[in-house]
């Protein structure tokens, strides 16, 4: 298994970055283009991007995380994440 990396190019938030790049997907330049990063900025991005190792234990899709941790307030059923204080009634939601 190859090591996967989070890649965060400059202004990447505009295009949904950081995203996970696996070296088996090909060169990072081609991958950035395929992921929607503008071609005119790729050369600059490859010199100035941030990258860090993606530990498989923590790599989850947003949907997986949301499903696992979504909860409602125990008192008023206001939607919030587990372990967070409800902004409506002030109670803490259990994990």
The torsion angles phi and psi of 82, rounded to 5 degrees, stand at: -60, 140
Give the DSSP letter of residue 7.
Answer: E
| pLDDT for residue 95 is more than 70 | no
What are the sequence ranges of the domains in the chain?
A: 5-53, 60-95
pTM listed for this prediction? 0.58
- The whole-number pLDDT of residue 57 equals 46
Q: What is the rounded average pLDDT of the residues 45-66?
A: 71
Q: Is the pLDDT of residue 88 over 90?
A: no
User: Distance (Å, rounded) from C-alpha 82 to C-alpha 71?
Assistant: 5
């Amino acid at each position: 298994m190859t090591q996967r990396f989070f890649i965060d190019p400059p202004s990447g938030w505009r295009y949904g970055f950081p995203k996970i790049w696996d070296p088996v997907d090909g060169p990072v330049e081609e991958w950035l283009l395929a992921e929607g990063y503008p071609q005119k900025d790729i050369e600059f991005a490859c010199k100035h991007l941030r990258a860090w190792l993606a530990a498989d234990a923590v790599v989850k899709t947003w949907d997986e995380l949301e499903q696992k941790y979504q909860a409602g307030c125990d008192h008023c059923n206001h939607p919030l994440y587990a372990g967070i204080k409800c902004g409506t009634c002030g109670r803490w939601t259990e994990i």
